Amino acid sequence: MSGNVYREKIEKLLVLADIQIDGSRPWDIQVHNEQLYSRAMSGGSLAFGQSYMDGWWDCEKLDEFFFRILKSRLEDMVNSWTWYFDALKAKWFNFQKPSRAYEIGRRHYDIGNDLFRLMLGQSMIYSCGYWETASTLDEAQEAKLELICRKLDLQPGMSLLDIGCGWGGAAKFAAEHYDVEVVGYTVSKEQVEFGKDLCRGLPVDLRLMDYRDIHGSFDRVLSVGMFEHVGYKNYSTFMNVVRTHLKEHGLFLLHTIGQHGATASPDAWMTRYIFPNSMLPQASQICSAIEDVFVLEDWHNFGADYYKTLIHWFKNFQDSWSVLEDRYDERFYRMWKYYLLSCAGSFRARKNQLWQLVLSPDGVPGGYRSPRYSKSAEPLVYV
């Protein structure tokens, strides 16, 4: 098949999303290498992302481009053989088994605290902010942490387990503002080292350890932005681990990105270059995993807030590139830009969601009332 035929096929698809090749609008793509069309048609999302990293095409507003692609569901029309192969691999193999647990730490979270510090801002929180009353990124992250602590009904003297504790921001906040003792687990060496300095002098113990090796008993359990690395073959194991270490009258808050749609295949480009061995859960998979283990007390979706969070992260990253470019090359810049803005477009299109679940072992006596605003916001709304 000639290159012109491939171009015609892609042009016809892009028209459905109101995108033009070499057009003048910010969401139109500018093609620099005519081999892009055959490469994209044969290699799917992996090849399309690789071609952007290689400089074969550009787009002034990548987030708007991906929003239009996903809103028009074009990805459903161009699944390549690689998509089906990836789906089969996800079905056959457990890529999140214990022997692979630390790979995500080495290949993503350990690539440089300098990068994450400049991108994430003062909070060093690598998850969706809560923008209900916030006007800055740091305010949105603090509002999210406060909301989580209130949903967990933290009380002075309680013990809190933080599974996937990141750089220690949530543990520090809970210890300082709610007077609790925190044990945090992460598979990232850099996160543990940074977090120990951040939480120095506080009743916080951060450990380099997989969630399957947790020990102890806790009044409350928290997991923010870690479940995306568990893998659907391990969801039941994860929930049973939490239940084993949660006291009888405790609460567990799970904060995770979720996918809209029934596919067991992770995005090939994202798993190759950004989050190895990772997979976004479906609502049905979570429900199946908690059945006979927990009572679902609350399910809160504020995925639209992730678009704003990601745009702030990208702006911080872009504004800091002059500081970072001595360590990270131009290909990394294009890869990271593609990552952040493609995700932003996905959340804007509501293809991806952000869920907070509150779970209890046997149901909260008298029922559970969940706050939707930080305590500084008025009015306070319960559901």
Active site residues: 343
Which is it for the CA torsion 58, 59, 62, 66, positive or negative?
negative
CB atoms within 10 A of CB 343: 24
Are 45 and 269 in contact by the 8 Å Cβ rule? The answer is: yes
- Give, for 227, the enclosing helix (H) or strand (E): none
Bridge partner residues of 255 (DSSP): 224, 356
**Strand, helix or coil for residue 88:** helix
d(CA 123, CA 168): 10
Helix ranges (H only) for 255-325 are: 268-273, 283-290, 304-319, 321-324
DSSP structure class, residue 188:
-
Summarize the chain as % helix, strand, coil (round to 5): 50, 15, 35
**Terminus-to-terminus CA distance in the chain, angstroms?**
58
Are 335 and 302 in contact by the 8 Å Cβ rule? The answer is: no
| Beta-strand pair 29-31/57-59 | antiparallel
Take residue 64 and report the two structure tokens written for it: 């708007």
What does the DSSP assignment read for 37-79?
Answer: HHHHHHHHHHHHHHHHHTTSEEES-HHHHHHHHHHTTGGGG--
Which is it for the CA torsion 226, 228, 234, 238, positive or negative?
positive
